[in-house]
Amino acid sequence: MDWGKFIFLLFINAVGNLPYKLLQKKLPQGINNISPGISLILSFWFLSLSAFLVSQLKAIYLVKSVWVLLLLFLTTVFWFIAPFVIRKIGIEPKQLISKRISRYSVRFIPHTFYLKFFEVLFQQANFLVMLNLVLVNMSLVNRAVWFTVIIGILHFLNIFFLPRREAMIFFVLSVPMGAMFSYLIIQGYILLTFSIHLWFYLVFSGYPWLRKENRFSPI
């Protein structure tokens, strides 16, 4: 591992996420309280830092097959129409929303839901740089193991910003997702992992709206 580059990446990660996490922690309704203007600023912040991180790579191997590009395109389109589609076809899970304010994406409010898109983009940029710059001199197996451990630790730190039970569930889910993402990104499938990551939140957020009895949610 290149420890200098690792510390640099951790710094960029902290700079990118700290305003977002503090708003999530300090506001009475978390991210739900922010205005469209603040959401736009945070989205631009994540987008700018993502571009900066990717610019640190001299070359990026990307699998750009038709099905990968088509999936990303359709996922992106559906993400941006989801707040209108889900509200049209689903039933608002009011009990869940009132009890778990940290799950702001479940509300499908356009400006906060769109913010989540750019937060996921920033996560993926971090993953790409970690595997192709910080851990690049390791064997494929060691890169995958170290990546999974680091992602697990970073997700565990959500315990300081999210309800304990929710943070622990995200931590547990990050382990198999980290292993899968590391393999795919090393093989050049960063566009695919971005789509998968977005679909995780689409299903995670949309499921409570689409249940016949939508009072239940796994988290």
One-letter amino acid for residue 116 of the chain:
K
- Domain boundaries in the chain? 3-210
More confident residue, 48 or 214: 48
Which pTM value belongs to this model? 0.86
pLDDT in tens, 19-57: 888 877 777 777 777 888 999 999 999 999 999 999 989
CA dist., res. 116 & res. 120, Å (int): 6
CA dist., res. 82 & res. 101, Å (int): 20
Judge whether 51 and 80 are in contact, CB under 8 Å.
no
pLDDT for residue 216: 45
* Residue given tokens 């889900």 in the structure block: 86
CA dist., res. 86 & res. 29, Å (int): 22
Query: In 3D, which of 35, 178, 24, 42 has the Cα closest to residue 117?
Result: 42
Q: How confident is the model at residue 193 (pLDDT cuts 50, 70, 90)?
A: very high
pLDDT above 90 covers what percent of the chain? 41
Local structure of 138: helix, strand or coil? coil
One-letter amino acid for residue 194 of the chain:
F
